[in-house]
A and B are shown apart, each in its own frame.
Chain A
C-alpha cells in the first residue's frame, strides 16, 4: 500500500491507478451509510470543513455538504457573492485567514485553473478541488468512474466517449485522466471549436461526428454546453448544435450495442441531450448523483487521517499473519 492520497486532492492527473481504485473501493461502504435510518457516522466528528465556493454551484456544493454532514464534520459555507472575496480580497489572503481560523479542510470551487493547488500549497489544511477553472473536477470524474464500474463491474477495456465542449471542461480533463489510468479507451466528440489543442496526444480518440462516437462507444458522457459559448462564437446556434451533436433517441437507436448515457448536470434538455434520452433506460444520470455523495465521503475520509505512514503501520499490524 502506497501513501493513501497525500494532503490534497487537486486532480486525477497525478494520482496513481491504485489511489483511484482506493477511493472507489472506499466509496462502496459509504453508499450503504446513505441508506441507513440515521445517515450519519462519526468518522469526522470535530473536523471543521469550509466549503469555499467562488463560483455558483448548487449540485456540487450540496453533494459535498451532505458528504461532510454524513461524516459528522462541522461545515461552513462561504459563497463568493457577499464575501470578502468580492470585496477584492486576494486568494492568498483568503488562504491565510482560513489558516488562522484553524480549519481542517477546505473544499474549493474557483473560476481560475490552478486555484486549488495554489491554496493547497499555502495552507496546512487538506484541500479538495471541487472544480478549478478549466483544469480538473476530480470528484465528478470519480463518481463517473464509480457509476461506470457499478454498471459494468469493470472499467478497463470499456470505450467511453466524452461529448461536447471539451475545451472548457474540467469534467472532461478529470475523466480523461481517470479513465485512462483505469484502462478504459477514451473518445472525445464535438466540434473542433470546442476541442483543446493537442488533445489526441493525451491518448484519446477524436470523433468529429456524433454518429461515429455512438457507433464506437459503450458509454457516452454528455457534457453540459455552457450557453455563453454560443454568445462567444464557438458555435453558431444551439439549434444547430442539437442537430449536429445532440444525443437523441434516433441516433442511439442506430447504435450497434446498448449504450450507457451519463451527464454531469445540470442538463440543457434539447441542447446537448434529448429529454427522452436523459429520462430513458440508458440513463444513469441519477445514479451519478447518488454516487457523488459516496465518493465525496470517501475522499474526505481518506484525506482526514492525513498521516498515511501511520495508517500503513496500523494496517501492517492489523493484517492477518503471513503463512
Chain B
C-alpha cells in the first residue's frame, strides 16, 4: 500500500487536545507522522484536504447489523459500508441477532464476516444471558477470547436484578462493560412513545420516564455493590442524567451513551403517527433534550452512539402500534450532531469529535480514537461546510427507516481510512 499524505487539513485529535492545521502521513497502516510540511516524497499519494477536518475515525458502540438472521434488512457488509460512509471506522455489534450472539462461535462468525467485508472494524458484543432470555449467564470468557468487547442483552432490559449483579461481577474478570437497555418492563409494556401530553392527545400508550430511570438507578446501585462497569445504553431522560451525574461524582464505574435522535428530536415528532419517530427508548420532551445536551457537554454522558436499527422498507408502513421500534443512524449521525449541536452552539467541534471517537473508544477500551503517531490509521476527513439533504434512497444501509429524511444537514465525511486503507470517498468510490 502506498503511503498517503493528508495535506493541509485542520487536524483534531481529542485524545490529546490537539487542534491545528497540519499534515498527516499514513504509512503501513499506521499514522507515521504529524507535522507541517512533511513534503511529498516520491511514491506518496497526496490528498489535498485544505479546508477539511482530519479527525480520528468515529466509533459507534451501539449498532444492530442484523446478521445473522435478518440479512434482508442489513448485513455486516452493508452495515459496515454504511458505517464508513458515515465516518465510522469502528462499530460495536449488538448481539440480538438470530440466533443470538451468545457464544464464542457466534462471536467468531461476526469477526470473520467483518474481516471479509474489509470496511469498518466490527467489535462484537456478546449476550449477557443465553438466548437473551434473562436466565443464565453466557460464556463471557470464551466470547471475549473470540473478540467480544462488552456484553449486553440490548433490545431487552435485564429484568432480573440478580442476573445484572452476577453479570457485573463476572464481567470484572474479563474487563468488559455490561451494557444495559434500561427499561422497567411492567411500566413500559405496550408503550409505544413517551408518556406525556402528546401521547395523551394521540391516544397512544406511553412509556413513562420513570421506566428508564428505575433501571438506571438500579444499575448504578449494582455497580456500586459489585464494583463492575455498567454502561447505560441510549439515555433519554433528564432524570437519568441526574442519576448518572451523582454516580460519577461518587466515582462509580458508570458510562453512558446517547443517540443523535434523542439529542435532537422530541415526542412531537410522533405527531401524525409518524412511525419513523417510534423508537425505544422513546423520544422525550424538550427539557430532556436540553439536559442530555448539557450532560454530553459536561461528560456526564460519555459518548454518542447511533443505535442504528435497520428495519425492512415496509415495516414502518403500519399503524403506529404495529410498527417496529428504531431507526437507522450511521449515515446521518455526524451530520445531525454537527448541524444541531455544533452549529446550534451546544458543543464545540473538538468536543463533538471527542464524544464520537475518543470517548466511546475509552468507554469500551477499544483501539482508535486518537491520531498519535504509531496508532492505527483509522481516520475520517470531514467537510464541515457541505450542505446536503438526507435522501434515504442514497443510503448504503439496506434499510431506509430514518426520521431525518428530507432534512438539510451540514457536514459530511469525505474520506474514511481504516488501517490506512481508503474505505470510503464521498464521490462514491470505495476501496
Contact = CB atoms under 8 A, between A and B. Distances in A.
Contacts of A111: 321
A277 interface: no
Nearest to A133: B203
A61 interface: no
Interface string A131-157: 011111000000000000000000000
Given A114-B204, A135-B202, A92 B317 contact: yes
Contact of B321 (A112, A198, A202): A112
A197 B210 CA distance: 13
Interface residues of B, number: 21
Contacts of B208: 197
Contact of A202 (B195, B200, B204, B273): B200
A109 interface: no
A107 B272 CA distance: 19
B201 interface: yes
A135 B322 CA distance: 15
A243 B286 CA distance: 41
Contact of B203 (A90, A92, A132, A202): A132
A153 B214 CA distance: 52
A112 B320 contact: yes
A197 B202 CA distance: 12
28 contacts: A90-B314, A90-B318, A90-B322, A92-B314, A92-B317, A112-B321, A112-B322, A113-B202, A113-B273, A113-B320, A114-B202, A114-B319, A118-B318, A118-B319, A133-B204, A133-B321, A134-B204, A135-B202, A135-B203, A136-B203, A196-B200, A197-B195, A197-B197, A197-B208, A198-B196, A198-B197, A202-B197, A202-B201
A113 B318 contact: no
B203 A91 contact: no
Interface in B20-76: none
B206 interface: yes
A55 interface: no
A106 interface: no
The 7 A-B residue pairs whose C-beta atoms are closest, nearest first, are A114-B273, A135-B203, A112-B319, A134-B203, A198-B197, A196-B200, A113-B203
Interface residues of A, number: 25
A85 to B, nearest CB: 12
Contacts, number: 68
A202 B201 CA distance: 9
B199 interface: yes
A300 to B, nearest CB: 24
Contacts of B318: 90-92, 118
Nearest to B272: A117
Nearest to A115: B319
Nearest to B198: A198
Given A113-B273, A114-B273, A117-B272, A197 B319 contact: no
B124 to A, nearest CB: 34
A13 B201 contact: yes
Contacts of A2: none
B51 to A, nearest CB: 43
A113 B206 CA distance: 12
Given A92-B317, A170-B203, 20 more contacts: A90-B322, A92-B314, A110-B319, A112-B319, A112-B321, A113-B202, A113-B204, A113-B320, A113-B321, A114-B320, A114-B321, A117-B273, A133-B204, A135-B203, A136-B203, A197-B197, A197-B206, A198-B197, A202-B197, A202-B201
A80 interface: no
A192 B364 CA distance: 44
Interface in B103-148: none
Nearest to B205: A134
A119 B186 CA distance: 32
A192 to B, nearest CB: 14
A5 B319 CA distance: 23
Nearest to A90: B318
Interface string B177-201: 0000000000000000001110111
Interface string A186-229: 00000000001111011000000000000000000000000000
Query: Which of B195, B197, B202 has most A Cβ within 10 Å?
Result: B202
Contacts of A70: none
A173 interface: yes
Contacts of A199: 200
A173 to B, nearest CB: 6
B63 to A, nearest CB: 27
Contacts of B205: 134
Contacts of A197: 195-197, 199-200, 206, 208
Contacts of B314: 90, 92
A13 B208 CA distance: 24
Contacts of B321: 111-114, 133
B87 to A, nearest CB: 35
Contacts of A118: 273, 318-319
B201 A173 contact: yes
Nearest to A195: B200
A201 B202 CA distance: 14
Interface string A62-105: 00000000000000000000000000001110000000000000
Interface in B283-338: 314, 317-322
Interface in A157-179: 170, 173
Contacts of A173: 201, 203
A115 B199 CA distance: 15
Interface string A31-67: 0000000000000000000000000000000000000
A201 B199 CA distance: 13
Query: Which of B201, B205, B314 has most A Cβ within 10 Å?
Result: B201
Nearest to A112: B319
A134 B273 CA distance: 13
Interface string B251-269: 0000000000000000000
Contacts of B203: 113-114, 132-136, 170, 173
A112 to B, nearest CB: 4
Query: Which of B201, B203, B204, B208 has most A Cβ within 10 Å?
Result: B203
A96 B321 CA distance: 20
Nearest to A132: B203
Interface string A276-309: 0000000000000000000000000000000000
A132 B320 CA distance: 11
A113 B199 CA distance: 10
Contacts of B272: 117
Contacts of A117: 272-273
Contacts of A134: 203-205
A35 B122 CA distance: 74
Contacts of B200: 196-199, 202
A279 B322 CA distance: 41
